[in-house]
């Protein structure tokens, strides 16, 4: 074998070795890529399982809640929603204006709407409603540190007024009186504002009245020294009893 041929063989062997090495490296890189893809696939699969489990839990929770709601709603048939209760109006100078409310008038309006005009059936609910008004006023003073004898109703921040009105509307349902049916909360708004203003005026008047005359003032307002100013006897039920006796 000539020197030229030998060199050619060696070059060929080197080429084969280089090709083999490159092939092995590429195969190794491809194997590592496949392993990386497999790891990613496992991770994705685990996440997918987690998501599917979460979806199933949500479905189970939804089904449970639906069953509970059905059980709660089944015993009592849905009640027909009343129409909005608008404040009565009166004609003044050929114009319809909101009627001026009084305790006897509002009492009669409530009896007619919620108790079909049955004064006897309405007596206890109206008494409880009057007590609820007192409780709402007490909550304003306690929760917001507002003294009824120092701050008139008009100076109480609107969010607090709104909160107290909603509180009374919610409480009224326990007595079969749906004050939340009122357009723009006119009944609860008037009740809370009227009662607060009544107390505010009374306390200011009492402070300016000589002590010797306070007993007659309290008696005229159906108040006594032992009465709490936040729970005065309501002319609401008093006027209702007077109407029943007439």
> Which pLDDT belongs to residue 138?
95
**Structure tokens belonging to residue 126:** 């109206």
> Which pLDDT belongs to residue 228?
39
Which residue, chain included where needed, has tokens 């709603």?
A: 73
> Which pLDDT belongs to residue 76?
41
**Structure tokens belonging to residue 162:** 């709104």
CA distances from 233 to 1, 61, 122, 237 (A): 132, 50, 17, 9
pLDDT tier for residue 218 given thresholds of 50, 70 and 90 = low
Length of the chain, please?
246
> What mean pLDDT do residues 20-31 have?
79
**Mean per-residue pLDDT of the chain:** 78
For residues 49 and 53, what is the distance between their CA atoms, to the nearest angstrom? Answer: 6
For residues 219 and 234, what is the distance between their CA atoms, to the nearest angstrom? Answer: 14
> What mean pLDDT do residues 117-139 have?
95
- DSSP strand E in the chain: where? 89-92, 95-98
CB atoms under 10 Å from CB of 146, counted, come to 16
Instruction: Please say whether the beta carbons of 89 and 98 come within 8 A.
Output: yes
> What mean pLDDT do residues 156-165 have?
95
Whether the per-residue pLDDT at 134 is higher than 70: the answer is yes
Question: DSSP class of residue 80?
Answer: P
Q: pLDDT, tens digit, for every residue of 87-102?
A: 999 888 888 898 999 9
> Which pLDDT belongs to residue 229?
38
Whether the per-residue pLDDT at 212 is higher than 80: the answer is no
Residue-wise burial string across 195-220, b where 16 or more C-beta atoms lie within 10 A, e elsewhere = bbebbbebeeebeeeeeeeeeeebee
- Helix, strand, or coil (residue 92): strand
Whether the per-residue pLDDT at 219 is higher than 70: the answer is no
Angle CA(17)–CA(22)–CA(23) in degrees, nearest 5? 95
> Which pLDDT belongs to residue 215?
60
pLDDT tier for residue 16 given thresholds of 50, 70 and 90 = confident
pTM passes above 0.75:
no
CA distances from 35 to 22, 23, 25, 28, 32 (A): 20, 18, 15, 10, 5
> Which pLDDT belongs to residue 233?
40
* Percent of the chain scoring above 70 in pLDDT: 65
């Amino acid at each position: 074998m000539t020197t030229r041929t030998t060199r050619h063989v060696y070059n060929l062997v080197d080429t084969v070795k280089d090709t083999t090495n490159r092939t092995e490296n590429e195969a190794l890189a491809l194997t590592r890529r496949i392993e990386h893809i497999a790891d990613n696939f496992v991770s994705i699969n685990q996440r997918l399982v987690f998501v599917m489990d979460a979806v199933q839990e949500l479905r189970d929770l939804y089904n449970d809640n639906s069953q509970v709601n059905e059980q709660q709603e089944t015993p009592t048939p849905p009640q027909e929603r009343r129409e909005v209760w608008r404040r009565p109006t009166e004609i003044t100078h050929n114009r319809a204006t909101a009627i001026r409310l009084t305790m006897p008038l509002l009492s009669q309006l409530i009896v007619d709407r919620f108790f079909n005009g049955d004064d006897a059936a309405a007596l206890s609910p109206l008494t409880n409603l009057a007590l609820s008004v007192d409780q709402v006023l007490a909550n304003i003073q306690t929760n917001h540190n507002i003294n009824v004898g120092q701050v008139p109703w008009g100076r109480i921040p609107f969010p607090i007024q709104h909160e107290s009105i909603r509180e009374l509307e919610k409480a009224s349902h326990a007595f079969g009186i749906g004050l939340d049916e009122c357009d723009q909360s006119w009944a609860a708004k008037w009740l809370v504002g009227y009662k607060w203003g009544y107390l505010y005026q009374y306390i200011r008047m009492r402070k300016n009245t000589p002590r010797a005359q306070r007993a007659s003032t309290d008696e005229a307002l159906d108040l006594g020294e032992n009465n709490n100013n936040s729970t005065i006897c309501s002319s609401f039920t008093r006027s209702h009893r007077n109407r029943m006796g007439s």
